[in-house]
Amino acid sequence: MRVLKAMLRQPAALFGLIVVVAVMAMAIAAPLIAPYSPDNQMFDGLTLEGAPMPPSEQFLLGTDTLGRDLFSRLLFGARTSLVIGLVANGIAVAIGLFIGILSGYLRGIVGNLLMRFTDLMMAFPALLLAIVLAALLRPSLWIVAMVIALVNWVQVARIVYTETRGLVERDFILAERSLGAGHFRILFMHILPHLMPTAIVWGTLGIATTVLLEATLSFLGIGVQPPQPSWGNIIFESQSYFQAAPWLVFFPGAIILLTALSFNLVGDALRDILDPTQRGRG
Amino acid sequence: MALLVLRRLVQTALILLGVAAITFLLLYALPADPARMIAGRSATAQTVANIRRELGLDQPLLVQFWAYLQGIVHGDLGRSYAQKTDVGSLIAARIPATLVLMAAGILVEVLLGLTFGIIAALRRGGAVDRVVMMASFVGVSAPQFVVALLLLYVFAVTLGWFPMSGFGTPAHVVLPAATLGILGAGWYARMVRSAMIDVLNQDYVRTARAKGLSSARIILRHALPNAMLPIIAMIGIDIGQFMGGVVVVEAVYGWPGIGQLAWQAIQQVDIPIIMGVTLVSALAIVLGNLVADIIAPLIDPRIRAR
């Protein structure tokens, strides 16, 4: 409640929150809002020459090269983007938390090995790795989500590691240990709750990264496969046509930007609210 | 100092070895079969088996990896499956184009980021600051390929100021560099702003102001040099980031760099090229960080003393 109130006071965060809720509503209610079926290749959806139709009263955002309604496809594309955003980023944050907390808590060999592994992953060109994996595996929505999770956990692990290291030194953990608490209890009852703000902030910021990555993979033709609509593959399908029909790139591009921007704004506001030491900084 | 350099070099070698091992393992485990790709659809099982033996793909994983490592130590990255040539020279031929693009992109983002970051810091809390910060958020949230297509549409198709794609003249580099630079500038602007705000609050800046120095002199001679440190660290990190980003930008603009080489290789399951580009990219990331670490003490005596 306190968090929500604080967010409503900042215009930028409020804007982000509204867009995030709107995109979620779009995804959930897509079948109710969509004027046409996203896969319906309509005869009157193409001009007499067989070209896509520009935005009009009949087709709000125009049609694509196969005569499908762009607005309906964007609505259903919101489902794809959000499902991948939530699933992929959820897994990434979970892996990051797990590895970060373990390497921060267990000093010794295990902790060291985990951290060196994280260093190694930092040196991996993430986008290149994602492209290679997505291209060589048989692409599907779940594969794309897995690939994104696999390259996106590293940053979370780094931050959680640093925070856990700091927490372990604190007196209340020392006190707990001297009272005879086991590792399990200390980790889950005392350290994990302190990491929740970080998890929430990265859970939000990471969705922006994930949405962009999914769109990029789909734009290259190795992400979510047509005819299942995704914002990226709508652009992929029409990119050779974009000089004649720029709306086919412009509208999906705008909604990708708007969605990523909004998750970034909300995540940034959450960081300010949940972590006062970061307030007002880059 | 010598010990430090030695340690970093060993670390670098270990990281590259790890990257090579993981990439090798992943490519080996993936279902795509390079022998079948080369043989074509209509090839008999015998042909595919022959090609597999010829490439050494019938050997156990560890034998293959060991052979690959021996090659790397001798500067041999293997031979391309599809192009039948040496991967090292294929990559070397593409690196200059990517370096040109990278340098131009970093120039654009540093110039934009410094300018707007400083303006925002000086007008902290004001309308200008808020507009710059919002714009930087838009910049970091924009999908690279959409910006690339948009710039193409406006400046190449509609206005005709720059060529659609290709390589060779300075005009060719403008749009790809702008694409990379505009997106990166968002990060720089945010960082320059917060670094400048920290510095501008320091006592010595107040002293300079009290001495009656001009604002321009205070900002450029007194404040900026101290705010440069995080910016240089960021350029180091950026060099690595670019190696991934160039795949998309080079694909859209038909830029003949290593991103394009990688993209073609990925589509042909040309594993030696994929391995080579991944290693070169990882090397760039590690070197970028290393260079930032070496430059930092050169411009900041406080770090040297430590």
pLDDT in tens, B111-143: 999 889 888 888 888 888 888 888 888 888 888
**Nearest C-alpha neighbor of B61 from the set B36, B17, B39, B29:** B29
Amino acid identity, position A9: R
Strand partners, A63: A69
Q: How confident is the model at residue B1 (pLDDT cuts 50, 70, 90)?
A: low
Answer whether residue B176 shows pLDDT above 60. Answer: yes
Query: What is the pTM for the complete model shown?
Result: 0.85
Nearest chain B CA: its distance from A238 CA (Å): 11
Q: How confident is the model at residue B251 (pLDDT cuts 50, 70, 90)?
A: confident
Amino acid identity, position A260: A
Q: What's the pLDDT score for residue A281?
A: 44
Strand partners, A52: A46
Q: What is the CATH number of the domain that holds A262?
A: 1.10.3720.10
Domain boundaries, chain B: 19-76, 94-303
Answer whether residue B306 shows pLDDT above 60. Answer: no
The total domain count for chain A is 1
Let me know: does B291 contact B284? Beta carbons within 8 Å.
Answer: no
Q: What is the DSSP string of A194-249?
A: HHHHHHHHHHHHHHHHHHHHHHHHHHTTSSSPTTS--HHHHHHHHGGGTTT-THHH
Do the domain assignments include residue A176? yes
**Do the chains contact at B263 and A138, CB–CB below 8 Å?**
no
Backbone phi, then psi, for B176, in 5-degree steps? -60, -40
**Nearest C-alpha neighbor of A152 from the set A220, A85, A103:** A85
Write down the CATH superfamily of domain B94-303.
MetI-like (1.10.3720.10)
> How many residues does the structure list for chain B?
306
Let me know: does B248 contact A215? Beta carbons within 8 Å.
Answer: no
Do the domain assignments include residue A43? no
Residue in chain B lying closest to A117 (CA):
B18
Provide the domain limits for residue A101: 76-278
Let me know: does B189 contact B234? Beta carbons within 8 Å.
Answer: no
**Do the chains contact at A260 and B251, CB–CB below 8 Å?**
no
Instruction: Give the span between the Cα atoms of A1 and A18, in whole angstroms.
Output: 17
How many CB atoms lie under 10 A from the CB of residue B225?
A: 12
* Structure token pair of residue B131: 């507009």
Instruction: Give the span between the Cα atoms of A264 and A270, in whole angstroms.
Output: 10
- Residue of B149, B245, B266 with shortest CB distance to A249: B149
Mutate to test the interface with A, among B7, B10, B23, B137 (most CBs of A within 10 A): B137
Residues of chain B contacting residue A208, judged by C-beta atoms under 8 Å apart = 141
- Is 0.95 exceeded by the ipTM? no
Let me know: does A85 contact A91? Beta carbons within 8 Å.
Answer: no
Backbone phi, then psi, for B124, in 5-degree steps? -50, 130
Q: What's the pLDDT score for residue B31?
A: 66
Instruction: Give the span between the Cα atoms of B99 and B111, in whole angstroms.
Output: 18
Counted across chains A and B, CB pairs separated by less than 8 A come out at 125
Let me know: does A26 contact A19? Beta carbons within 8 Å.
Answer: no
Question: Would you give the DSSP letter of residue B31?
Answer: S
Interface check B269 vs A, CB under 8 A: yes
Residues of chain A short of pLDDT 50, as ranges, are: 279-282
Which chain A residues have any C-beta within 8 angstroms of a chain B C-beta?
12, 117, 119-120, 122-129, 131-133, 135-138, 208, 212, 215-216, 219-220, 232, 235, 239, 242-243, 246, 249-250, 252-253, 256-257, 260-261, 264-265, 268, 281-282
How many CB atoms lie under 10 A from the CB of residue A63?
A: 30
Nearest chain B CA: its distance from A281 CA (Å): 6
Q: What is the DSSP string of A97-150?
A: HHHHHHHHH--HHHHHHHHHHHHHHHTS-HHHHHHHHHHHS---HHHHHHHHHH
Instruction: Give the span between the Cα atoms of B249 and B100, in whole angstroms.
Output: 13
Residues of chain A contacting residue B193, judged by C-beta atoms under 8 Å apart = 282
Nearest chain A CA: its distance from B297 CA (Å): 23
**Do the chains contact at A253 and B251, CB–CB below 8 Å?**
no
Mutate to test the interface with A, among B12, B15, B145, B243 (most CBs of A within 10 A): B145
Amino acid identity, position A3: V
**Nearest C-alpha neighbor of A230 from the set A99, A48, A38:** A38
Instruction: Give the span between the Cα atoms of B243 and A160, in whole angstroms.
Output: 27
- What is the average pLDDT across B238-254? 80
| Three-state DSSP class for residue B144 | helix
Do the domain assignments include residue A41? no
Q: What's the pLDDT score for residue B303?
A: 66
Following CA atoms A172, A176, A182, A186 in sequence, which dihedral angle do they give, to the nearest 10 degrees? -30
**Do the chains contact at A128 and B262, CB–CB below 8 Å?**
yes
How many CB atoms lie under 10 A from the CB of residue A21?
A: 12
Cα B187 to Cα A184, B114, B120, B226, distances in angstroms: 39, 10, 13, 18
Instruction: Give the span between the Cα atoms of A16 and A264, in whole angstroms.
Output: 8
Answer whether residue B241 shows pLDDT above 80. Answer: no
Residue B24 sits at the vertex; the CA angle it makes with B261 and B279, to the nearest 5 degrees, is 45
Amino acid identity, position B44: T
Q: What is the mean pLDDT of chain B?
A: 81
Interface check B126 vs A, CB under 8 A: no
| Three-state DSSP class for residue B150 | helix
- Residue of B18, B27, B146 with shortest CB distance to A257: B146
Do the domain assignments include residue A109? yes
- Residue of A129, A137, A261 with shortest CB distance to B137: A261
> How many residues does the structure list for chain A?
282
Tokens 């694409």 correspond to B179
Residue A110 sits at the vertex; the CA angle it makes with A108 and A114, to the nearest 5 degrees, is 120
Amino acid identity, position A102: L
- Residue of A126, A219, A239 with shortest CB distance to B244: A126
Let me know: does B277 contact B265? Beta carbons within 8 Å.
Answer: yes
Instruction: Give the span between the Cα atoms of B254 and B177, in whole angstroms.
Output: 13
